[in-house]
Amino acid sequence: MSRARVLTAIVVAGVFITIAGASAQQSNFVGGNPTQLDAKAIRTLRLKFPAGSRSNWHSHSAGQLLMVEEGKSRTQERNGPLLEMAPGQPWYTKAGVEHWHGAAPDQDVQQLTIYEGEVKWLEPVTDAVYKAAPRK
C-alpha cells in the first residue's frame, strides 16, 4: 500500500471518528432537557455588611433568596424568631413577607442575594430587636 493511501485512510478514519463522536455526545440531563426561562429581571447582589450593621425592615414583591458566603449573619421575619446564619446556609423569604438581614454584632458577613421585582423599604430595625437572643 502506498504512503499516500495510508495517510488518506488515517485522515478519513480521524474525520469519521470525530463526526461519530460529536453526534454521540452525552446530554447533561436525564429524562429530558430543561427549558431556559427569561431571567433578565432577576437581580443578584453580593453585599458585605460590617459587624453590627443590618438592613431596614423590607419586603420583596417576588421573594428573596439569601446565602451567607463568609462570616455570620442575622435575619428575622416580622414577629418571628431572630436567626443566626452561617456560611452555606441559604434561606428564602416569601413574597410580601417583611424581614431584615445583616451582620452579627461581632462579625462581618458577606451575603449573596437573589430577587426579582420591587423592594418595599420600611422602618429601621431597632437595637432591641437586633440584639435579642437568637434562636438556637
User: Given this model, what pLDDT does residue 135 score?
Assistant: 85
Total-model pTM:
0.75
Asked whether residue 10 is assigned to any structural domain, the reply reads no
Decide if pLDDT at 16 tops 70.
no
Asked whether residue 91 is assigned to any structural domain, the reply reads yes
Q: What is the pLDDT of residues 58-115, one digit of tens each?
A: 999 999 999 999 999 999 999 999 999 999 989 999 999 999 999 999 999 999 999 9
Asked whether residue 14 is assigned to any structural domain, the reply reads no
Q: What is the CATH number of the domain that holds 62?
A: 2.60.120.10
Mean pLDDT of 21-30: 70
- Give the chain's mean pLDDT: 88
Kindly state the greatest CA–CA separation across the chain.
91
User: Given this model, what pLDDT does residue 1 score?
Assistant: 62
- What string of DSSP letters covers 82-119? -EEE-TT-EEEE-TT--EEEEEBTTB-EEEEEEEES-E
Q: How far is CA 88 from CA 17, 66, 67, 85, in A?
A: 44, 10, 7, 9
